[in-house]
Amino acid sequence: MKTTKLTLAALALTTLTFGAFAADQVASDPLHQTPVGTISAQGGTNLDSLEAQLNAKADAAGAKSFRITSTSGQNNLHGTAVIYQ
């Protein structure tokens, strides 16, 4: 019983910790951060899904923030973003 409670507490804290490191979307170049690359995503059905895909890729690349630089398409959206450290 004690092990189960400890495991659940550790899982909850781990989930909260990962959420704290998510990349932030910014509208302009962030102060004190350097551009370190670009990412792209495709297959979004709307702008929210495309933004979520770019956010996930920025997180996977370890970026602190990202700025969407282009989007195109109608039913199958494509987008690019600059990532910052």
Q: Which long-range contacts (CB under 8 A, 24 or more apart) does 18-21 make?
A: 21/59
pLDDT, tens digit, for every residue of 50-84? 999 999 999 999 999 999 999 999 889 999 999 99
Residues 6+ apart with CB under 8 A from 55: 22, 23, 25, 66
Whole-prediction pTM: 0.71
pLDDT-based confidence at residue 4 (cuts at 50, 70, 90): low
pLDDT for the residue 23: 86
pLDDT, tens digit, for every residue of 42-51? 999 999 999 9
Strands 35-44 and 24-25 turn out to be unpaired
